[in-house]
C-alpha cells in the first residue's frame, strides 16, 4: 500500500489524506461523521420541529408510527414519542447533546491527560511514579463504575456527566502521551533542543507535544466514541443528562417502556443514530491508527 | 513395511539409498510474484551416510528439508519433482501417510533450540506424545523410551529431567532434548537444520560427534544443513552446495573441498577463516545475495561471479565433471585450492 | 512467598485508598447529612441525628468511624428497605453473580471456537464476518444491544422472556435461576447481552494467539514429530494461548460485574446492579456506599486471584516466583 507514491508533490498533509482514503470504509466513516456533525450543528435550521418548544407539541400526536401525519398536517418520518414529539427532530437535537458532551469531555480530558502524561515523561522520578500509579489504578476499574461512583456523589446534570467523563478518560491520554513522549525524548532533536538550553516548558510544549500528537489524535478519536457511548449509557440508566435536554441515550430510555408493546420506533431510531455515530467514529479511528501510528500496526 | 528399527545392517545394505530427491522445485506464490525457493534440486543420501547441504542464508536449505517432510505451508507448494524415500515417492502420499512417517521414519531437528520446544509443556509430555503418535504402547513404556533417549544424548539424570520444563534447560541441553525426540523411533533419515548454529563452539563439537556416532550406529541417513563449511568438512561424507534455490555443486566432501569447481564454492571456501593464511585478507564473495524475486536470468550467480561471460546469461546445464560429482557452471574453476 | 505478601499488602492498600475516596466523595463532595439521615427527616430530627452520628466531630474522626464500620460490616441502613445496606447488597449478590458467571462462560464457549476458526482460516469469508461482528461487539453500547435482543427475541419472535429472573430454586440457602428451566430461559438474553463485549474480546485474543503461535517454530517441530493437527492445535497451541486468555477473562470478570448494572436495568434482573441504580435514583446513599465498597473489594480480590492463577498456569512464571 505505502509503496505506491502519490503523483502530486507531497506535503505531509496530502500524504496523510491520501493514505487515509486508501480505506473506503474509513472515508465512509468520515463522510458519515461530517453529515452527523452538520445535522447536530444545524438542527435548529434543519429539524422540522423544535422538540423543546412545548407549544408545538400536541399530545394527540403521541406515539404515532413512522410516516404518520400530525393533526396539523406535518409528516413524522420517524414517528413520534409519547408526548407527540417528532422523533427526527428529537434525534437531531439529541445528537447535539450527545456530540457536545462526548467531544467536549474528550477534548478536556485530552488536554488534562496529555499534559499530565507529558509532565510525567519529562520530569520522571517521583512525579512520574505518582501520576502513572494513579493512571494504573484508574484504568484497572471499568469506566462505567468510575462514572457511576462520581455521579452517585455529585448527582445528575450535563456538567456532572462531563466531569465524570473527563475523570474516566484522562488516564488513557496520560498513558499514551507519556509513552509517546518517552520515545520522542530519546530522539536527536530533543537532545539538540536541550543543548540550545531552551527553557523546559518550551521544550515540553513546542517540541515534545507536536511529535506526540499523532497517537493522541488516534486515542482521541476512539475516546470520543467511548465518551458518547458512556454518556448514552448513563443517560439511559437515568443518571446522565436531565429530561429537559434529552441526549440520544435518554431518548432511547424514554421509548424503552413502549418497546414491549411493539412501539419500537421511539427507541429504535435514536438507537440507530447513536450506532451510526459510534461506528462512523470508530471506523475513522481505526484507519487513523494505521496511518498515523505505524508502530501500532498489527 | 520398513526395515526393522535397530536391526544392525550388513555391509551390503550400506549402499542402500535412503532418500533420493529428483528435480525438486518448491515455489511460494506471493503477491510480489513466484519465489522459486527450491528450483530443480536433485541429491541422494545413503544409509548411514551424512550429506552436508551448504549455502548462504535464504538459499533454500530449510525449504528443501520441509519439502521432504511435506511441511511446506501455503502459499508454498511443491511444484515439481520426486522425493523417493526408500523407493516411495513422498510427493504422492496423503497427509495421513506423511504424518505416519514424520517423527517416525524421518525426523527433523531445528536450528534454534530455544524455539523448538513448547515452553508450557513438560519434557515428558513432549517426548511421550511423539512415542504415542507412532506406537501403541503403555504410558510406562513410552516413559521408559523417552528416558532412554534422553540418556542416549548425554543428559544426566534423565528421570528427573523428564518432568522439567524447557526453560529449565540450557540451550545445548534443549538441543539434546530435540535430538532425543528425533531419535525416539530410530528413524531412517534425520534432517538436521543447522542444529548447532545457535550453540557455542564446544557444545557444538560435542553434539556433532554424538549425532555422527548415533547415525552411524543406527544406520541412519543424515542430512546436515548448515552454512558452515568447516562443519561439513568434519562431519559429512558428501556435500551439496546450494545457491539461490539450486544445487550448484555436489560430490564427495574430500573431492569438493579439495578441488571445488564452481566459482561459488570457491568463494565459500575462501571465506572460511581457518583456510586463510595468517596476514592474508579474508576473501569475501563480492556483491550481495540477490533477492529470489528478481534473480538474474541464466546463472543466478552471474552478477557476483568473476568467471562470468555472455554464456552465463543462459541456464548452465547440469554436468558430471568427474565420477560422483555434479556441477552447474559453464566455466568451472579447475585449479585446486592450495 | 514474599511476592504474595507484597501483592496482599498492595491489595489492602488499594482497598484503603478506595475507602478514603468513597468517604471523601460522600462526606466532602456530597452532603453527609443526606447519606446518613433519611431525606424526609425534619430539622430537629436532623440536628439530633447529626450529633448522634458524630457528624459534628472532626473529619478524621468521622473517617475512622467509617473505616471501623467497614471493618465490622456496618455500613448503615437502607432508607428504602430499612435493612442493613450490606445485607441488602448480599441478598442481591447471587443474582448478579450467576449472571456474570454465565456471561463469562458464554464468552469462553462462544469466543474461543470462533477465534480459533478465524485464526486458522483468516482469509475465509466466515472469518472476516466474525471479525467484523467482533468490532460491533466492541463498539455497540450494551444497553442498545440489550434492547435489540428484547425487541427481536422477546417481542417479535416471542421465543424468550425478557424481564426478571423467572423461577428460582434454592441451593445452599440461596435462590438461583440456573437451577430451573424457566430461570435458565430468563437468563439467556441478559447473559448473552452481558457477554457480548467479552465474546468479542476473547475471540480476538484467541485469533491473534492462534495466528501468532501457528507461525512459531515449536508448532512446526510438533508437526515434524508426526502429531495430528488436532493435538498440535488443542494441546500445543491452546495451552500457550490459554494463559493470556484466562488472565484477561479473569481480569474482565470485575468489569462484567460492573457492566451488569446496565444489563440488569434493561432486563429488570433483580441483582445488585439494578439495586444500585434504583438506590442512586432515590438517593438511598448507605446502599450506594455499601455497593461501592463491595465492588471495590470484589475487584481487588479478583485481581489478586488472577495473579495467583497466572503463576500457577505459566510454568515460566511459576519458577521465577518460587525463587
Ligand atoms: N512462507 C514463505 N513465504 C514466502 N517465501 C518464503 C517462505 N518461506 C521461505 N521463503 C523463501 O524461501 C527462501 C529460502 O528460505 P530458506 O528458509 O529455505 O533458506 P535457508 O537456506 O534455510 O536460509 P537460512 O540459512 O537463513 O536458514 C527464502 O529466501 C524466502 O524468500
Ligand atoms: S555459470 Fe557462469 S556465472 Fe554461473 S558460476 Fe559458472 S561461470 Fe559464474
Ligand atoms: Mg534455514
- Going from the C-alpha of C123 to that of each of C99, C241, C280, the distances in angstroms are 35, 21, 48
Ligand nearest to the CA of B55: 1
Residue B262 alpha carbon to ligand 2 centre in Å? 8
| Ligand 1 atom at minimal distance to the Cα of residue B227 | 25
List, in order of start, the domains of chain B with CATH numbers.
13-105+185-328 (3.40.50.300), 114-184 (no CATH)
List all chains that touch chain A, counting a touch as 3 or more CB pairs closer than 8 Å.
C
Report domain C94-312's class. mainly alpha
* pLDDT per residue of chain A (298 residues) written in tens, 0 to 9: 444 444 556 677 777 787 777 777 788 888 888 888 888 787 777 766 777 766 666 666 666 666 666 666 666 666 667 666 777 778 888 888 888 899 999 999 999 998 898 888 877 788 888 888 888 888 878 888 888 888 888 877 888 889 999 988 899 899 888 888 887 766 666 666 666 666 666 666 666 777 778 888 888 888 898 888 888 888 888 887 877 778 888 878 877 777 777 677 777 888 888 888 888 888 888 788 777 765 443 3
Predicted structure pTM score: 0.80
Q: What is the CATH number of the domain that holds A284?
A: 1.10.3720.10
Q: CA B218 to CA B186: how far, in whole Å?
A: 7
pLDDT in tens, B56-72: 888 889 999 999 999 89
Q: CA C28 to CA C15: how far, in whole Å?
A: 19
Residue B62 alpha carbon to ligand 3 centre in Å? 4
Q: What is the pLDDT of residue A58?
A: 64
Q: Do the domain assignments include residue A7?
A: no
Q: What is the pLDDT of residue A76?
A: 62
Task: Work out the number of other CB atoms within 10 angstroms of the CB of residue C209.
Answer: 22
Omega of the bond leading into A234 within 30 degrees of 0 (cis)? no
What mean pLDDT is reported for chain B? 82
Q: Could you tell me the three cell numbers for B112?
A: 534454534
Q: CA A91 to CA A97: how far, in whole Å?
A: 10
Q: What is the pLDDT of residue B239?
A: 92
- pLDDT-based confidence at B4, cuts 50/70/90? very low
Alpha-helical regions (H) of A124-157: 125-140, 143-154
The ipTM is: 0.84
Q: CA C265 to CA B75: how far, in whole Å?
A: 51
Q: Could you tell me the three cell numbers for C58?
A: 472532626
Residues C214/C119, Cβ–Cβ less than 8 Å: yes
Domain range holding A44?
A: 23-296
Instruction: Report chain A residues whose CB lies below 8 A from the CB of C141.
Output: 229, 232-233, 236, 249, 274-275, 278
Q: What is the pLDDT of residue A70?
A: 63
- The residue-averaged pLDDT of B77-101 equals 89
| Ligand 1 atom at minimal distance to the Cα of residue B55 | 21
- pLDDT-based confidence at B15, cuts 50/70/90? low
> Does residue A242 sit at the C interface (CB-CB below 8 Å)?
no
Parts of chain C with a pLDDT under 50: 321-323
Q: What is the pLDDT of residue B275?
A: 46
Q: What is the largest CA-CA distance in chain A?
A: 76
Q: Do the domain assignments include residue A187?
A: yes
Chain B and chain C share a number of CB contacts under 8 A equal to: 77
Distance between C144 CA and the closest CA of chain A, angstroms: 7
Determine which of B116, B166, B184, B191 to mutate to test the interface with C (most C C-beta atoms within 10 Å): B116
Residues A152/A88, Cβ–Cβ less than 8 Å: no
Residue in chain A nearest C295 by alpha carbon: A145
Residues A190/A208, Cβ–Cβ less than 8 Å: yes
Q: What is the pLDDT of residue C107?
A: 92
Residues of B at the C interface, defined by Cβ within 8 angstroms: 66, 69, 71, 99-104, 107-108, 110, 112, 115-122, 129-130, 133-134, 165, 167-168, 178, 181
Q: Do the domain assignments include residue A1?
A: no
Q: What is the pLDDT of residue B7?
A: 42
Residues of C at the B interface, defined by Cβ within 8 angstroms: 216-218, 220-228, 231, 235-236, 239-240, 243, 314-316, 319
Task: Work out the number of other CB atoms within 10 angstroms of the CB of residue C256.
Answer: 23
Q: What are the residue boundaries of the structural domains of chain C, listed by start?
A: 2-71, 94-312
Q: CA B240 to CA B252: how far, in whole Å?
A: 9
Q: Could you tell me the three cell numbers for B158?
A: 534423565
Instruction: Report chain A residues whose CB lies below 8 A from the CB of C295.
Output: 145
Main-chain dihedrals φ then ψ at residue A282, nearest 5 degrees = -65, -40
Main-chain dihedrals φ then ψ at residue A80, nearest 5 degrees = -130, 165
Q: What is the pLDDT of residue A283?
A: 84
Q: What is the pLDDT of residue C33?
A: 64
Find the residues whose C-beta lies inside 6 A of ligand 2.
B 262-263, 299, 301-302, 305, 307-308, 312, 316, 329-331
pLDDT in tens, B288-297: 777 777 777 8
Residues 6+ apart with CB under 8 A from B209: none
- Going from the C-alpha of A266 to that of each of A64, A82, A253, B89, C191, the distances in angstroms are 9, 8, 9, 70, 25
User: Residue written as cell 519433482?
Assistant: B81
Can you say whether residue B7 is alpha, beta or left, with left for phi > 0 and alpha for psi between -120 and 50 degrees? beta
Q: CA A130 to CA A134: how far, in whole Å?
A: 6
Residue in chain A nearest C14 by alpha carbon: A137
| Ligand 1 atom at minimal distance to the Cα of residue B30 | 4
Secondary structure letter of residue C84 according to DSSP: B
Main-chain dihedrals φ then ψ at residue B80, nearest 5 degrees = -160, 165
CB contact under 8 A, C29 and A153: yes
Instruction: Report chain B residues whose CB lies below 8 A from the CB of C225.
Output: 102-103, 107, 129-130, 133, 181
Q: How many separate domains does chain A show?
A: 1
- The residue-averaged pLDDT of B275-291 equals 57
Question: Looking at A283-292, B142-151, B323-332, which range is the least confident one?
Answer: A283-292
Residues A109/A173, Cβ–Cβ less than 8 Å: yes
Distance between C26 CA and the closest CA of chain A, angstroms: 6
Closest Cα to residue B19, out of B238, B167, B287? B238
Q: What is the pLDDT of residue C123?
A: 83
Residue in chain A nearest C35 by alpha carbon: A153
- Rg of chain C (C-alpha set): 24
Amino acid at each position: 500500500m505505502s509503496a505506491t507514491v502519490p503523483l502530486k508533490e507531497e506535503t505531509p498533509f496530502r500524504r496523510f489524506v491520501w493514505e487515509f482514503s486508501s480505506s473506503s470504509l474509513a472515508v465512509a466513516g468520515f463522510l458519515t461523521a461530517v453529515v452527523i456533525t452538520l445535522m447536530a450543528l444545524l438542527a435548529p435550521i434543519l429539524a422540522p420541529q423544535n422538540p423543546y418548544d412545548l407549544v408545538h407539541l400536541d399530545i394527540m400526536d403521541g406515539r404515532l408510527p413512522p410516516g404518520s401525519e400530525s393533526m396539523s398536517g406535518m409528516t413524522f418520518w420517524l414517528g413520534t414519542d409519547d408526548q407527540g414529539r417528532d422523533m427526527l427532530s428529537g434525534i437531531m437535537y439529541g445528537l447535539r447533546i450527545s456530540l457536545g458532551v462526548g467531544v467536549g469531555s474528550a477534548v478536556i480530558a485530552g488536554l488534562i491527560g496529555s499534559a499530565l502524561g507529558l509532565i510525567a515523561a519529562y520530569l520522571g522520578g517521583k512525579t512520574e511514579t505518582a501520576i502513572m500509579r494513579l493512571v494504573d489504578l484508574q484504568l484497572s476499574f471499568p469506566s462505567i463504575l468510575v462514572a457511576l461512583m462520581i455521579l452517585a456523589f455529585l448527582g445528575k446534570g450535563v456538567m456532572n456527566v462531563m466531569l465524570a467523563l473527563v475523570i474516566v478518560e484522562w488516564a488513557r491520554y496520560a498513558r499514551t502521551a507519556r509513552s509517546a513522549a518517552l520515545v520522542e525524548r530519546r530522539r536527536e532533536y530533543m537532545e539538540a533542543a536541550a543543548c540550545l538550553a531552551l527553557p523546559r516548558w518550551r521544550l515540553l510544549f513546542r517540541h515534545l507535544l507536536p511529535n506526540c500528537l499523532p497517537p493522541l489524535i488516534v486515542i482521541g478519536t476512539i475516546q470520543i466514541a467511548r465518551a458518547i457511548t458512556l454518556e448514552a449509557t448513563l443517560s439511559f440508566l437515568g443518571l446522565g443528562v436531565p429530561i429537559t435536554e434529552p441526549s440520544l441515550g435518554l431518548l432511547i430510555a424514554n421509548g424503552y417502556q413502549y418497546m414491549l408493546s411493539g412501539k419500537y420506533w421511539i427507541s429504535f431510531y435514536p438507537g440507530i443514530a447513536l450506532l451510526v455515530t459510534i461506528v462512523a467514529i470508530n471506523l475513522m479511528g481505526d484507519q487513523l491508527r494505521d496511518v498515523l501510528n505505524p508502530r501500532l500496526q498489527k | 513395511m520398513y526395515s526393522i528399527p535397530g536391526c544392525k545392517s550388513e555391509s551390503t545394505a550400506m549402499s542402500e539409498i535412503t532418500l533420493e530427491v529428483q528435480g525438486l522445485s518448491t515455489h511460494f506464490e506471493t503477491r510480489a510474484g513466484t519465489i522459486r525457493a527450491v528450483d530443480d534440486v536433485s541429491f541422494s543420501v545413503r544409509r548411514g551416510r551424512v550429506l552436508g547441504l551448504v549455502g548462504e542464508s535464504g538459499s533454500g536449505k530449510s525449504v528443501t528439508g520441509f519439502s521432504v517432510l511435506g511441511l511446506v505451508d501455503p502459499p508454498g507448494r511443491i511444484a515439481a519433482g520426486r522425493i523417493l524415500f526408500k523407493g516411495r515417492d513422498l510427493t504422492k502420499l496423503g497427509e495421513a501417510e506423511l504424518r505416519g512417517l514424520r517423527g517416525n521414519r524421518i525426523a527433523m531437528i531445528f536450528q534454534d533450540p530455544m524455539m523448538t520446544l513448547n515452553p508450557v509443556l513438560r519434557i515428558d509430555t513432549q517426548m511421550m506424545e511423539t512415542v504415542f503418535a507412532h506406537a501403541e504402547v503403555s504410558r510406562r513404556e513410552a516413559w521408559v523410551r523417552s528416558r532412554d533417549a534422553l540418556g542416549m544424548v548425554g543428559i544426566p539424570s534423565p528421570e528427573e529431567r523428564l518432568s522439567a520444563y524447557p526453560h529449565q534447560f540450557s540451550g545445548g541441553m534443549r538441543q539434546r532434548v530435540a535430538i532425543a525426540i528425533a531419535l525416539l523411533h530410530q528413524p531412517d533419515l534425520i534432517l538436521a537444520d543447522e542444529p548447532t548454529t545457535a550453540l557455542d563452539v564446544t557444545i557444538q563439537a560435542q553434539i556433532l560427534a554424538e549425532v555422527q556416532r548415533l547415525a552411524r550406529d543406527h544406520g541412519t541417513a543424515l542430512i546436515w544443513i548448515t552454512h558452515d563449511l568447516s562443519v561439513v568438512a568434519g562431519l559429512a561424507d558428501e556435500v551439496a552446495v546450494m545457491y539461490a534455490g539450486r544445487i550448484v555443486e555436489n560430490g564427495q566432501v574430500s573431492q569438493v573441498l579439495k578441488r571445488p569447481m564452481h566459482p561459488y564454492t570457491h568463494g565459500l571456501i575462501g571465506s572460511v577463516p581457518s583456510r586463510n593464511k595468517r596476514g592474508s585478507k579474508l576473501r569475501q564473495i563480492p556483491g550481495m545475495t540477490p533477492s529470489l524475486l528478481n534473480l538474474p536470468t541464466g546463472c543466478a550467480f552471474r552478477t557476483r561471479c568473476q568467471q562470468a561471460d555472455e554464456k552465463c546469461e543462459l541456464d548452465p546445464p547440469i554436468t558430471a565433471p568427474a565420477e560422483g560429482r555434479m556441477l552447474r557452471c559453464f566455466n568451472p574453476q579447475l585449479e585446486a585450492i592450495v | 512467598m514474599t511476592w504474595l505478601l507484597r501483592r496482599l499488602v498492595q491489595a489492602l492498600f488499594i482497598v484503603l485508598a478506595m475507602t478514603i475516596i468513597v468517604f471523601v466523595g460522600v462526606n466532602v463532595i456530597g452532603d453527609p447529612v443526606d447519606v446518613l439521615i433519611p431525606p424526609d427527616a425534619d430539622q430537629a430530627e436532623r440536628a439530633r441525628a447529626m450529633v448522634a452520628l458524630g457528624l459534628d466531630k472532626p473529619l478524621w474522626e468521622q473517617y475512622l468511624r467509617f473505616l471501623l464500620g467497614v471493618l465490622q460490616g456496618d455500613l448503615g441502613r437502607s432508607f428504602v428497605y430499612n435493612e442493613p445496606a450490606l445485607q441488602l447488597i448480599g441478598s442481591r449478590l447471587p443474582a448478579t453473580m450467576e449472571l456474570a458467571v454465565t456471561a463469562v462462560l458464554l464468552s469462553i464457549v462462544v469466543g474461543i471456537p470462533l477465534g480459533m476458526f478465524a485464526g486458522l482460516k483468516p482469509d475465509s469469508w466466515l472469518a472476516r464476518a466474525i471479525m467484523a461482528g467482533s468490532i460491533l461487539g466492541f463498539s455497540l453500547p450494551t444497553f442498545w444491544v440489550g434492547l435489540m435482543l428484547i425487541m427481536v427475541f422477546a417481542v417479535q419472535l416471542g421465543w424468550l422472556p425478557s424481564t426478571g429472573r423467572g423461577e428460582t430454586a434454592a441451593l445452599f440457602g440461596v435462590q438461583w435461576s440456573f437451577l430451573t428451566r424457566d430461570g435458565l430461559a430468563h437468563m439467556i438474553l441478559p447473559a448473552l447481552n452481558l457477554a457480548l463485549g467479552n465474546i468479542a474480546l476473547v475471540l480476538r485474543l484467541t485469533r491473534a494467539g492462534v495466528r501468532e503461535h501457528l507461525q512459531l517454530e515449536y508448532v512446526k517441530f510438533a508437526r515434524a514429530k508426526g502429531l495430528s493437527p488436532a493435538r498440535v492445535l488443542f494441546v500445543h497451541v491452546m495451552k500457550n494461548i490459554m494463559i493470556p486468555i484466562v488472565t484477561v477473562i479473569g481480569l474482565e470478570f470485575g468489569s462484567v460485574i460492573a457492566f451488569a448494572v446496565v444489563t440488569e436495568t434493561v432486563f429488570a434482573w433483580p441483582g445488585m446492579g439494578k439495586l444500585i441504580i434504583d438506590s442512586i435514583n432515590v438517593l438511598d446513599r448507605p446502599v450506594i456506599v455499601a455497593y461501592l465498597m463491595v465492588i471495590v473489594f470484589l475487584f481487588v480480590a479478583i485481581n489478586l486471584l488472577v495473579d495467583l492463577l497466572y503463576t500457577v498456569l505459566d510454568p515460566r512464571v511459576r519458577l521465577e516466583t518460587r525463587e
